[in-house]
Structure 1
Amino acid sequence: MFELPSPILEITEASYHAGGRMILENCNLKLYPSEVLAIVGCSGSGKTSLLNILAGRVSPASCTVFRLNGQDMLAGGDPVVARLWRKATGYVTQDAAETLDLNMSACANIARRLFELGLTHAGDALQRAQDRAERLGLPAGRLSEPVRSFSGGMRQRVQIAAAMVHDPEILFLDEPTSGLDSIAQALFLETLMQVRQEGGTAMILVTHDLRIARLIADRVLVMDAGWIVAEAVTDRLMTEPVHPVAKALVEAMI
């Protein structure tokens, strides 16, 4: 009988409130090594709030289990926990300006995470940054240019390189193709596919578009009004949606 490996990320009964209202309620999730998990749902369903909790960017109001690589992540003030977040994860946002310094070069932006993790030799950091950028298809001739001169699609690819330069175990992506034109979106998705083919990095991708989830995700969670209402292997969800929200998302894709 096939046995699943131990999850690298696990959260149980997570809830989150903001402004006096419930944002998330009783959310349970497991992420396995090298898995690509998509979180889908309509605007306001709680997708990004859940992602931000999983990535350690905000704390849940309540939660019974929260583990990363077996480490209890509920000890939020522990410096060991904080370092584990930085070392084991990377994060890609909708807007590259949230994580990149647009006045710095692409290479310097990518290398910055290495300095944050304690690497002190600038030459080594910049070389690793260049290697990661080139592996993801960024043109070597433009790595010294400031990010502000790049298109939206290029900025997103720089974000991935910066999030991946330290070889994290988990990459979090929050609507990374939002606002990109169809050509830039296709190039970005090619980059994600390359990351997946390289193996070793699990991903959690938030999107409202099941077509994107279908391209790269192994498994899909569907959210509605702060609850996880459906969970299935991607192909199963596409062909046999049960929950009304899942059905509506599949119909919108057709």
Structure 2
Amino acid sequence: MSAIAAMRLPEQVDLSGFIELLQRLQVPHRVAEEAGEQVLWVPEESLAEHVRALYARYPHGDATVAQSLPLAANTAPSVAQQLRASRMTAAVLLLTFIAAAITVLGDNLTTVSGLSFVDYRLQGDYIYFSDLSDTLASGQWWRLLTPMLIHFGILHLAMNTLWFWELGRRIEARQGPWTLLVLTLLFSLAANFAQYLHAGPSLFGGLSGVLYGLLGHCWIFQRLAPNNAYRLPPGVLVMMLAWLLICMTGIFELLQFGAIANAAHVGGLLAGCLTGLVGGVLARQQRS
């Protein structure tokens, strides 16, 4: 089922209060700027009717009203509604889960080799990596992106997919599914190259580099063009940056908990800050 345009309003109309009301009621939605208008999209026609009726009563999303309204059962989105409203986020996660199953959460090094940044061969307990130039010369360009699908262990997979669900849905709701896809691929590319340039041929993977890119994008975009979708809960940014710094100390390697792809995190974060800067400036210019 395709998305439904519930309302089309002029750009100068301030929808921030009403959007807060929709978030309070947990109504899945997305606001996009198209041809000088603000278009509020919802996944179903029944929700579109509800949103239009709600806007007629509370166009400014009275804060008192938002706090007093109960979370009605018919407005709380089901899992199916959430998936329909965040199709691209769900598609990336589906690919990640498929890769986790095929690679047995990184334990099957034979299948992992098909997704790693550079190809390698196994000989006993040793891994012999190819050069990146040889890998690309053989036409294996997908390797520049696919390390983001590799995860080593259930905890690694669970943490990364949960954060991608949280951040990916925000960007998909605010800027659309194709923007999310482009950003995901771009951040993966930046993170993978950063890790390769820092550590050379090695085995690394995970969505964490992409996650730091999404985080940086939301952070800088929100600073330049404030919007509800990218307003992260207090402490999230501090926690994520603190975690990055702790990992960079090498404490986890020292305690033999495994190597952390710190360069991938930094590369993703810097790429995300750059796209957030560009996107935030453009959004600010459109508003003015």
TM-score, normalization: structure 1?
Answer: 0.24
**Which of 1 and 2 has greater Rg?**
2
Q: Where is the helix percentage greater, Structure 1 or Structure 2?
A: 2
Q: Where is the strand percentage greater, Structure 1 or Structure 2?
A: 1
